Each structure stands twice: as structure tokens, then as C-alpha cells.
Amino acid sequence: METTFSLLFEAADDRDAILAAMAITVLLELKFKPDAVSAARELMSRTLQVTRAFDGNLHTDVLVDSDDEAHWIIYELWDSVEHDEAYRAFRAGEGKVTELPPLLAAPPVKTRYATADF
């Protein structure tokens, strides 16, 4: 006979499996040098075509700070953590965007979010 305690562990295991299989959101904050915004628009237009076509990418938008055109948030929705990790590995290797670092005023900041169900 199962105890309440064992049912709680099973529920937690099921929830972890469900979360791992759920879509996740990634926010990538980019701060460009003010004189590099035009070059950044051109570069990211090409770069994000590849991102949007990458396996597991459900949606990608670029949010530009209305008070600072050099401050962007890349909003990405991925089918799973595994898809996002495969994309990051691609960008760290054969898909590396070598033209990006010289345009940046600060290092990019990536934050991954899981959807909460509360």
C-alpha cells in the first residue's frame, strides 16, 4: 500500500518530468554601443533567421527599450530545455556569431524561465 509520503515523491517526480518537457522562455539582454545599433540591426536580422528556424524554437521576438535603442531583450520560446541547450551549443560552436562581441557595450545576460502553474 502506498503512503501519502511516497505519493508526494511520485507527484514531484511527475512534475519535474512535466516541467522538463514544457516550453521554456529565455530572455537575452543585449546592450550595444550606441554607434553600433545600425550594424546590430543588420547582424541580428540575419542571425535571428537561423534562431527562428532552429529545431525547437517556437517563437522569437526582439524588444527594444523605448528610451534606449541600444538596449534590447531577445525573447525566445523553446519547446524544451534540451532544445534551448542544443541551440546554445550550436551558438558556442559552428553557429558562433563572431561579429557580435565588438558591437556590445556589456556582456549579454541570459535568463531562462519555466512557466509556473500557480
What is residue 9's predicted lDDT score, i.e. its pLDDT?
Answer: 45
Domain annotation covers residue 3: no
What is residue 14's predicted lDDT score, i.e. its pLDDT?
Answer: 57
Domain annotation covers residue 8: no
pLDDT band at 5 (very low <50, low <70, confident <90, very high): very low
Residue 108 sits in a domain whose CATH number is 3.30.70.100
Domain annotation covers residue 82: yes
What is residue 106's predicted lDDT score, i.e. its pLDDT?
Answer: 98
Number of domains in the chain: 1
pTM assigned to the model: 0.79
Q: What is the DSSP string of the chain?
A: ---HHHHHHHHHHHHHHHHHHS-EEEEEEEEB-GGGHHHHHHHHHHHHHHHHHSTTEEEEEEEE-TT-TTEEEEEEEES-HHHHHHHHHHHHTTT--TTSGGGBSS--EEEEEEPP--
- Calculate the average pLDDT of the chain: 88
Domain annotation covers residue 28: yes
Domain annotation covers residue 45: yes
Cell of 29: 539582454
Ranking 13-22, 78-87, 101-110 by mean pLDDT, the lowest is 13-22
Parent domain of 81: 20-114
